[in-house]
Amino acid sequence: MKKTDIQTPFFATHLGSIIKNILITLILTVAATIAAFWFFRHVPENPANIALVYITALVLTARFTTGYVYGIFASLVGVICVNYLFTYPYFALNFTLTGYPITFLFMLIISLSISTMTSQIKTQGKVLVEREKLLMEAEKEKMRANLLRSVSHDLRTPLTGIIGNSSTYIDNCNTLSEKEKLDIVSHINDDSNWLLCMVENLLSVTRIDERSMGIATSLESVEEVAAEAIQRLQKRLPNAEIHVQVPEEYLLIPMDAMLIEQVIINLLENALIHSKSTLPVELTVTDDSEYVTFKVKDYGIGISPERLKTIFDGSPYTPDNSNDVHKGMGIGLSICKTIITAHNGKINAFNHEHGCLFIFTLPKEKK
């Protein structure tokens, strides 16, 4: 019973595909014959058009059906129709006319060749699509693995800090000075904000379609998105110094505004916290012919060349010589790459003479 239940849908689908291919072949062949009669009646001095009509029908048949059988059938029908309907004596097969056997043979060869090549091209296209799907699936699995590794590393540190500081406060509440209490609460607040930032990053990923790795975009103002990102960041880092430069003209590009705001926040926060920048961080937006470019530049310690190679893959990073409690920036940069890739853009990181530079581009609306 179960075997029948499994095979029936497959048989029905296969039969439906065969019927569809037969209908397509018949419709195109009939349409070609009608067009050939029109040419034969109105342009009798140029009978070559008739063969071209059937060859066109053959190409379309091979394009919109699966397998070689239907294209071969269309080629045979075309050759026979040319002989039977449009070659003297009409409505009779006659392969004895001078030169016609050669014409028949070459038309059949051309028809079969076109059918075969069209089917092969379509098969190759399907292979490429499947390969693209496999690569996309591999990229998604890599992203999941990197995010899981980053989350397990990055979440552990603030949670450990919160638990440790809260336990210290509870156990020693009566012996701690007011300054020590304030320090402990400040550490708990910092770790809580860090957790909030990572949760926002993780929620951002849920806006990306897992099947297509795409997103729903709309035309958004670059200036407004940058301003909103800075405003959100300054709620967490009220003393942050950021210099912003955007184009004077009102610039609209297709994007998911919330996701791009998250990218800008992640890059600016990394520059403000991790870089030890001695000068204000710079956010610069430039307008190119096909892309809009965002640059986040700091004047700090830079990034090691080894780290630059893997900085967007989500791997956790803890520099040996750093006492910075905000060590885990892997998850944020990994999500930045995921978001920019979903926008069909690019993101890169470079060291410059006095610090680090992050650049990402977003394509403009196609006209």
pLDDT digits (tens, 9 = 90+) for 254-310: 998 888 988 998 899 888 888 888 889 999 999 988 899 999 999 988 888 888 888
The pLDDT of residue 323 is 42
**Least confidently predicted of 21-30, 61-70, 147-156, 214-223:** 147-156
The pLDDT of residue 151 is 63
Q: E-assigned strands of 170-255?
A: 218-221, 242-245, 252-255
Token digits of residue 211: 């099947």
Q: State percent of the chain over pLDDT 70.
A: 77
Average pLDDT on 27-41 reads 88
H helix count then E strand count, the chain: 9, 7
The pLDDT of residue 187 is 86
Higher pLDDT, 220 or 50: 220
DSSP assignment of 50-76 equals: HHHHHHHHHHHHHHHSSSSHHHHHHHH
∠ CA 293-317-282 to the nearest 5 degrees?
A: 30
Distance CA 141, CA 64 (A): 34
Q: CA of 206: how far to CAs of 144, 211, 215, 365, in Å?
A: 12, 12, 10, 24
Distance CA 262, CA 339 (A): 9
- In this structure, the number of other CB atoms found within 10 A of the CB of residue 106 comes to 11
> Does residue 326 have a pLDDT over 60?
no
**Which of 278, 336, 285, 286 has the alpha carbon at shortest distance from 302?**
278
Q: What is the pTM of this model?
A: 0.55
221-242 per-position pLDDT tens digit: 999 999 999 988 888 788 889 9
Kindly list the structural domains of the chain, giving each domain's residue range(s) and its CATH number in brackets, ordered by start. Answer: 2-133 (no CATH), 142-363 (3.30.565.10)
The pLDDT of residue 253 is 93
